Amino acid sequence: MNMNTKENAVLFQRVSSQKQYDEAKLTRTREDAIEYANGGFTNFEGIEYDLDPTEYKTVGSAFKNDVRQSPEMLAILGKLERGEYKRPLHIFLASLDRLDRRQVLEAASSLNDLLKKGIIIHDISQGFVVGERDGSGRVGDSEVYRLIGALQTANIESVKKSNRTKRHIKQRNEKLRSGELKYIPGATLTKWYSHFDEEEEVFVF
C-alpha cells in the first residue's frame, strides 16, 4: 500500500426488516466506521482509509436473500467496475452477518466471490480483516479458512443474541400476564413500568 494515499472504503449496513430499522443505531455504526477509518476503534493495524460518505443501507433478510444482489451492493460493485472506486476496495461492516447469515460454507462462497472482485472485508466490531491487500482478487486458501472461521464465530454470536432477545420477550410477556408490568403506549421507546416499585424497565431489541 502507498502510505501517502488512502485507499477507498465504504460502509455497508443491513437490517433484517423495516420494523428493525433504527436510524440512531445506524448513525452510531457510521460514527464507529469513521473512527475506524481514521485508524482508531478496533483498527488494530492503524491504517487510515478514505471512507465514502455515501450511505449504503439495505433492508432484507440475509438468511433468505443474497445480499450481493441488493441495489446497494450492486451500486458499490458498479462503481468498482467503472473505476469510481479503486481496488482494493474496503467494505466496512458492523459484523460479518450483515453480509450473509446462511450456512457457513454457502456464506463463505458468496463472500469469497466479493474478495475475488478486489474487495477487502472489515468486521469493525472485531477488527477482523480478510482479503488480498494488492487488490488482485487472488484469494489464497488461508484467507478462505480465516473467513470460514470468522463466519462461524459471527453466526454463533448471532444465535446467542437471538436467544437473549427471545428470553427477554418471554420474561416480559410473563410479567405482563401476571400484572407485574403495565404497558404504557405512545413513548419513543417501548417502556414497561412495574406496578410494585414504580421502577422503569426499558427493553430495546
More confident residue, 72 or 195: 72
User: pLDDT band for position 196 (50/70/90)?
Assistant: very low
More confident residue, 149 or 18: 18
For residue 31, tell me if it sits in a domain. yes
Residues 172, 135 share a domain:
no
d(CA 66, CA 84): 24
Residue 205's alpha-carbon distances to 40, 107, 169, in angstroms, are 28, 25, 9
User: pLDDT band for position 87 (50/70/90)?
Assistant: very high
Query: Distance of alpha carbon 59 from its chain centroid, rounded?
Result: 12
d(CA 119, CA 89): 5
d(CA 27, CA 141): 35
Residues 103, 57 share a domain:
yes
Residues 180, 101 share a domain:
no
Where residue 63 sits, what CATH number does that domain have?
Answer: 3.40.50.1390
For residue 151, tell me if it sits in a domain. yes
Residues 141, 104 share a domain:
yes
**What's the Rg (C-alpha) of the chain?**
20
Strand duo 89-93 + 128-130: pairing: unpaired
pLDDT digits (tens, 9 = 90+) for 59-80: 876 555 667 788 999 999 999 9
The residue behind cell 467503472 is 82
Q: How far separated are the first and last CA of the chain, in Å rounded? A: 41
For residue 87, tell me if it sits in a domain. yes
Which residues span the domain enclosing 173?
Answer: 168-202
Pick from 40-49, 121-130, 154-163: least confident: 154-163
The H or E element containing residue 183 is strand 181-184
Residues 138, 114 share a domain:
yes
The residue behind cell 462503481 is 79
pLDDT digits (tens, 9 = 90+) for 28-50: 999 999 999 999 999 998 999 99
Peptide bond into 185 cis (omega under 30): no
Instruction: Note whether 129 and 121 are within 8 A (CB).
Output: yes
pLDDT digits (tens, 9 = 90+) for 174-192: 877 787 776 655 443 344 4
d(CA 180, CA 162): 25
Residue 156: partners with Cβ closer than 8 Å, 6 or more residues away: none
Mean pLDDT of the chain: 76
Strand duo 191-194 + 200-202: pairing: antiparallel
More confident residue, 10 or 155: 10
For residue 30, tell me if it sits in a domain. yes
Mean pLDDT on 74-87: 95
Q: Angle, to 10 degrees, between the axis of helix 141-178 and the axis of helix 104-116?
A: 130
Domain count, the chain: 2
User: pLDDT band for position 122 (50/70/90)?
Assistant: very high
Q: What percent of the chain has pLDDT over 90?
A: 31
Q: What percent of the chain has pLDDT over 70?
A: 64
For residue 175, tell me if it sits in a domain. yes
Residues 146, 75 share a domain:
yes
Rank 28-32, 93-97, 117-121, 167-171 by mean pLDDT and report only the highest.
Answer: 28-32
Residues 131, 40 share a domain:
yes
d(CA 52, CA 71): 17
For residue 1, tell me if it sits in a domain. no
- What is the value of pTM for the model shown? 0.69
d(CA 180, CA 157): 31
